[in-house]
A and B are shown apart, each in its own frame.
Chain A
Amino acid sequence: MINQTIKLIAAVVLMAATTSCVHLKEYQKSRINDSEMALSNRKVEKNEMNFQSYRESASGANAGKTGGGCGCN
């Protein structure tokens, strides 16, 4: 478990370190600022994430809730 985690974190750090970023001026952000480009779940996905977290063992790392509610049914 620890080895896998270390490998995953190392891969992500390597990816981040080798990616060059460009500083954008405001007028260059028209595409980045498009509402479809938001780095978040759509509001309409809220209940989909709910049922997936109840039917599957995995949850989290998606800016959603990680607790609360039973999902017993």
Chain B
Amino acid sequence: MKKVFLTAFGFSLICRFSAFAQTKTDTIHTNKPFSLYEPLPANARSDDYNPRALHVDEINLVSSYYKQNGFHSAITGGIGTEKVSDISNGLDLKLVWTGDNENKNIISLGLGYDHHTSASSAFVTTTGQGKQGGTRIYPSIDWTVENPTTGNTFGIGAYYSGEYNYKSRGADVHFSKKTNDKSGEFSAKFQVYQDKVTMIYPSEFIPVITPVSTGATYITTASGNLVLSNGGSSDSKPSLPTKPRGTYTASFGYSQIINSRLQVMLLADLVAQSGYLSLPFHRVYFTNQKDTIEKLPSSRFKLPIGFRANYFLGDNIILRSYYRYYLDNWGSRSNTANLEVAFKLTPFFSLSPFYRYYTQTAAKYFAPFEGHSASEAFYTSNYEYAKFNSQFYGAGIRLAPPKGVFGWDKLHDLELRYGHYQQSTLLTSNVISLNLGFK
């Protein structure tokens, strides 16, 4: 019911903002655009006058449904169900105004809400009665200033993501600079995430916490709740312990128009992580059949390098390609190749089948169920770090007619996309997504 309510509320917000989105100068002045600035009357001094009209430029609503099945859950040490279902809704608002110095200011506001159920989460407790569902809320804000003459931009952003066992705060600064002939653009972004991992242990490893002041004893349940186990006042509940995780990223990109049909882009990230990089409820079973909690190093360095090339073939086919090579200091290497062919059936309707192939080598700390020796310094049975390849394929459609989708002029863009994902580890999933773009 909550999901239905939130979806309806989000939709009504879109309609509300769209109602104020008109910004063109009206011949009939009864329809005022939504603005923080009151325009001067017609008979006022008008030389060098530039209205600073803040208006809603674009709204996007992205919704997805994801369903997964597999047999290698990290919670049960690399065996057991990986059934997951997830419903995601994201709302993005783009607000634009022109500053005194003629610069274009863009504020992007985002709000995401996910709800998932995960069968393996129930086995954080050995009885299989743990909490299976969870929600995540993730707002974001970005402010970008663009010089209309040069096309160069500068901006800052902030993010938050909160779920019951993980909190993340992030910030970034980014800029881009075009070449003199505007056929190329260099961009850079520097991001910092400060996360907190809540220490929820498998039930057999629950530490007993005893506050000194009251003598009350609490235990952490598998679902992350604190339960009073004997006497004492519940007013002085201690909070669940957390451990920090930091992610520091420098992203660089260079795009170039090669000719009237081809443009390419080179992307590279330098990513450093530090802090608690394991998860406390992931079990590992040793060769001696005893279990423990996953243990990974406290630092990780990643280097992904990507390349995009888009080519307009003939009059109505567009080839969208992507390749990425990735390596990290945990010993994992991967290659990703993606090709999407967009058939423009009409100028405003396209059908786009796609195929993605991914392969990775195992991290040096990975071993399957009962594959680790107790003498090893680091160990995980999370199949995210296993050797595997995966395929992801499906198709999408996009409608963007000039008079609006289904004749509704506010709805300028509709995208619907379905994909099927399968790993050589037998994990499979299906995802369907819808994007509605409003102006």
Binding site for B on A (CB under 8 A): 1, 4-5, 8-9, 12, 16, 19-24, 28-29, 31-32, 34-39, 42-48, 50-52, 54-63, 65-70, 72-73
> Which 7 A-B pairs give the minimum distances between C-beta atoms?
A67-B247, A61-B306, A70-B166, A73-B118, A61-B304, A67-B193, A58-B326
Interface of B is mostly: strand
The reply to whether A62 and B322 contact each other, CB–CB distance below 8 Å, is yes
List chain B residues, Cβ under 8 A from A5: 303, 305, 327
Residue among A24, A29, A48, A58 with most chain B CB within 10 A:
A58
The reply to whether A56 and B415 contact each other, CB–CB distance below 8 Å, is no
Residue of A nearest to B246 (CB): A67
Query: Which among B14-22, B215-223, B250-258, B371-379 touches the partner chain?
Result: B250-258
The reply to whether A19 and B334 contact each other, CB–CB distance below 8 Å, is no
- Min CB–CB distance A41 → chain B (angstroms): 9
List chain B residues, Cβ under 8 A from A42: 396, 415, 417, 435
7 more contacts with CB within 8 A, not counting A43-B92, A51-B68, A57-B385, are: A43-B60, A44-B435, A52-B358, A56-B334, A67-B170, A69-B163, A70-B165
How many residues on B have C-beta within 8 angstroms of the other chain's C-beta atoms? Answer: 103
Residue of A nearest to B253 (CB): A63
The reply to whether A47 and B390 contact each other, CB–CB distance below 8 Å, is no
The reply to whether B257 and A32 contact each other, CB–CB distance below 8 Å, is yes
The reply to whether A62 and B433 contact each other, CB–CB distance below 8 Å, is no
- Min CB–CB distance A69 → chain B (angstroms): 5
Q: Does B34 contact A (CB under 8 A)?
A: no
The reply to whether A21 and B256 contact each other, CB–CB distance below 8 Å, is yes
8 Å CB interface, B360-417 against A: 360, 363, 384-385, 390, 392, 396, 398, 400, 415-417
- Min CB–CB distance B415 → chain A (angstroms): 4
The reply to whether A60 and B62 contact each other, CB–CB distance below 8 Å, is no
List chain A residues, Cβ under 8 A from B360: 56-58
- Min CB–CB distance A51 → chain B (angstroms): 6
The reply to whether A21 and B257 contact each other, CB–CB distance below 8 Å, is yes
The reply to whether A28 and B159 contact each other, CB–CB distance below 8 Å, is no
Contact of B312 among A9, A16, A34, A51 (CB under 8 A): A34
The reply to whether B260 and A24 contact each other, CB–CB distance below 8 Å, is yes
The reply to whether B161 and A34 contact each other, CB–CB distance below 8 Å, is no
With known contacts A56-B390, A57-B332, A69-B136, A46–B327 Cβ distance under 8 A: no
Q: How far is the CA of A69 from the CA of B121 in the complex (A)?
A: 17
Q: How far is the CA of A22 from the CA of B182 in the complex (A)?
A: 11
List chain A residues, Cβ under 8 A from B267: 61-63
List chain B residues, Cβ under 8 A from A55: 384, 390, 421, 423, 427, 429
Binding site for A on B (CB under 8 A): 60, 62, 64, 66, 68, 84, 86, 88, 90, 92, 116, 118, 120-121, 134, 136, 138, 159, 161, 163, 165-166, 168, 170, 181, 183-184, 191, 193, 195, 197, 247, 249, 251, 253, 255-261, 263-269, 271, 273, 279, 281, 302-308, 310, 312, 318, 320, 322, 324-330, 332-334, 336, 342, 344, 350, 352, 358, 360, 363, 384-385, 390, 392, 396, 398, 400, 415-417, 419, 421, 423, 427, 429, 431, 433-435, 437
Residue of A nearest to B336 (CB): A58
- Min CB–CB distance B141 → chain A (angstroms): 14
- Min CB–CB distance A7 → chain B (angstroms): 10
The reply to whether B253 and A44 contact each other, CB–CB distance below 8 Å, is no
List chain B residues, Cβ under 8 A from A16: 256, 266
The reply to whether B416 and A44 contact each other, CB–CB distance below 8 Å, is yes
Q: How far is the CA of A65 from the CA of B168 in the complex (A)?
A: 12
The reply to whether A47 and B342 contact each other, CB–CB distance below 8 Å, is no
Provide a sorted-by-A list of 29 A–B residue pairs whose CB atoms are within 8 angstroms: A1-B329, A4-B327, A19-B264, A20-B258, A22-B260, A23-B183, A24-B260, A31-B260, A34-B318, A35-B400, A36-B320, A39-B263, A39-B308, A43-B62, A48-B417, A48-B419, A52-B392, A56-B360, A56-B390, A57-B328, A59-B304, A61-B251, A61-B269, A61-B324, A61-B326, A67-B191, A68-B170, A69-B166, A73-B134
List chain A residues, Cβ under 8 A from B253: 63
Residue among A32, A46, A65, A73 with most chain B CB within 10 A:
A73
The reply to whether A47 and B88 contact each other, CB–CB distance below 8 Å, is yes
The reply to whether A60 and B327 contact each other, CB–CB distance below 8 Å, is no
List chain B residues, Cβ under 8 A from A70: 136, 163, 165-166, 168, 197, 279
- Min CB–CB distance B349 → chain A (angstroms): 11
Contact of A59 among B161, B302, B352 (CB under 8 A): B302
Contact of A51 among B258, B310, B417, B431 (CB under 8 A): B431
The reply to whether B265 and A39 contact each other, CB–CB distance below 8 Å, is yes
Q: How far is the CA of A67 from the CA of B304 in the complex (A)?
A: 14
The reply to whether A24 and B259 contact each other, CB–CB distance below 8 Å, is yes
